[in-house]
Structure 1
Amino acid sequence: MTSALATGRRTPKPRRIDDKMRFGLMWPNSPSPNVTSVEVAKRNPDVLDINSHITLAQTAERIGVDFVFFADGYTNHGLDNARVGHGEPCVSAPIWAPIVMAATEHLGVVTTMHARYLSPVVLARLGANLDVLSGGRWGWNIVPGAKGSEAKLFGLSDTIEHDERYQVVAETLEAVRALWGARGEPIKFDGKYYHLEGIPRGPYPVQESPVIFNAGVSPAGQEFIASSADYAFFAVVDDLAKVTATVRQLAEKTAAHGRDPREVNLAGSTGVVIARTSAEAAEKFAWIKDSLDMDAARGWARGFLAGSQTYQANFDQELDEAARKIGIAAGSRVLVGTAADIAEQLIEIHRVTGLRGFMLVNLLWAPEEVELLGDVFPILERAGVWETPESRGWSW
């Protein structure tokens, strides 16, 4: 396969507004990013081996995945989590993403970069170079950066309330877009938080505006997504009524901003355990649940419950009960079974909630595990809810 990076391709990955499903793959950024289990970490490939990333990227593109998503952060989830390989070590999104870009030709590559920790000038420069490297396939998961341990690590003593974080995010994006739009001309940006003046260096993005992701589903987060983002990222919980409510709220807010509600797709994260037979998949999932390290799961759950209004609402229960859920796929619903079983469950979620976008979270992320997902997509195509990426111009 010849990559866009190798050929210098400059035709951006297009946006297309339709009702068909889109699929992302949560990229493995650590030995066990999605389960607090040392046994799972041991079973997965070496996350620091470049070849692991190359093989997985080519597998994802070949089977029909639209984009991959690099989560990122600056402090670990806790000593127990680090002990079991959950989120530690964690590869840096903008550093490792180019490996995936170089290994593929059409796959979208989304990197997380924090608004509070990096200047808009640095963010604009990193983003522009990533977009050029990929030939116009880069997406930015812009996040506020509100984790208390990270603020201390960066030496930030000021505190910003929840809703104001999204004001900072909105102005950061506005400033970055102004820098991208300079194209060799002087700019002067005067905002509440940033005051920038000068001529930023190229290169500039291949896309007019790279695809913007955000995980905020609080009222303030939804307002930012509805006005400025292209994808919302959130967990598909077991209670589908809550998912349906989120889908409807975002559609209403997007329309209120004068946009077609379909302009904002929703990347609902769903855990996946797939096998050739239903019994094998059930056995695999039982092994994963039995291997859960509860000390690490409690630590992960406390972090989510302390910093997220959404998690507080979704997991208002006794800590150990919440930890058993959050310790696997961060509390997302887990789809278990054969390709036919998984397809049936995805179609049901789509039918009940209106959700069109899915972020697949493989609890076991070896390429041969992800390869099994390739049998899901033809079933969705026959059901009329999915089209091959090639047939729709590799569109987001």
Structure 2
Amino acid sequence: MKLSFGFAAVSLFSLASATIRTGFEVWDEAIGAGCVDKSLNYSMIVNPTSVTRNLELEVDYLVRTKELNLVSVIGPEHGFRGSGQAGESIGGDYVDPINGLTVVDGYNFKTAANWRDSYIRTGTQVAVFDIQDVGSRFYTYISTMYDSMAGAALAGIKYVVLDRPNPIGGIVVDGGIVSAGSASFVGRTPITQQHGMTVGELALLFNNEYLSSHPELSGLANKKVDLQVIKMQGWTRDMFYEDTGLKWVLTSPNMPTIDTTMVYPGMGMIEGTTISEGRGITKPFEIIGANFIKDVPMKNWVDGLNALNLPGVIFRPQYFTPQGKQKMADTMCGGIEVHVTDRKSFRAIPTGIAVLCSLRDNFPADFTLTTNNYIDSLTGSSTLRNLLNSGANYQTIVQSYQDQLAQFLTIRNKYLLY
């Protein structure tokens, strides 16, 4: 069976490191040139990835240089300065001891109205989003962007997105889309699991395709936000993050390296199972496993995965012990380490699906999905779960979403900036 993994062929990938200019750098230059209205009140939606080229937090830089009138800082999941673990709230508003700004916990907001109320409470006239995404739909920063855009539409304020690179490139697009019944904070809109877009492109897509159906905006005559996207300079779709000349800043506690981002669109699905996804060790998502996997069964599992000859990846057996408040904490686990050998041919989602099928087939008595069907939220619908439970092979599951993928590619193409 020949499968399409939804990517455009290119004859030449980046061969040498380039130096791009981020949206923030372009915007900062515009501020200095007097092209940005300094009389307005600005709120920055940022986190530790929102840095200058010299790795200074942009908000601290703006406060130090007094370039704009900042009235608040709004942090996503993990917080403005990265002090929160996955799923943790950092609490209500507080004053940042370093720059003196009001810090708002945007991860606490569950509705567009929550965002609107925050904007009104702080006197915000322009909301500015600048957070490094990792290219996977279920990474929550783009849901924060969608929700905060809807809140800005309700508040009637301007919304600016400072664009940053997609670290896993802008060519590969893969996975099914979110069905209406499975929409959640790990997938607000019907985009594919690996979207191949920048946050600026996603903002345009959200504004023109999906905000119009947002239930909280039903009473508005204009269901779009007043959006401005500040493009990068020098970025091309074939670039991986190392090609940009930018320094990598871990995007969350369990996304430490660019290698992690490469496997995450597929291996992130392990979170919908009782298997450890490697949280609490140094290589989450690259190393996964469980306490019932060891010895000969583990070797047979690894040998079977490698026999599939999946493009751009090999597997090796790995023992590990998760720490902290994670699955199977303080318990020796056996599993696999996912080694990407060729990023250009590697396909994260078919690889993740193959791993799920192999776990089911090799450990039928112990491998289970989480009881809350979280796998549906991650994959966008119940399709993968139902096919996995029926015994379908990974090729059949990959084939099941190809029509959805083709539909999304048509919509996506309208909003590509690079």
Q: After TM superposition, is the score higher than 0.5?
A: no
* Higher relative helix content: 1
Higher relative contact order (CA 8 A, sep 6+): 1
Give the structure with higher Rg (CA).
2
TM-score by length of 1: 0.31
TM-score by length of 2: 0.30
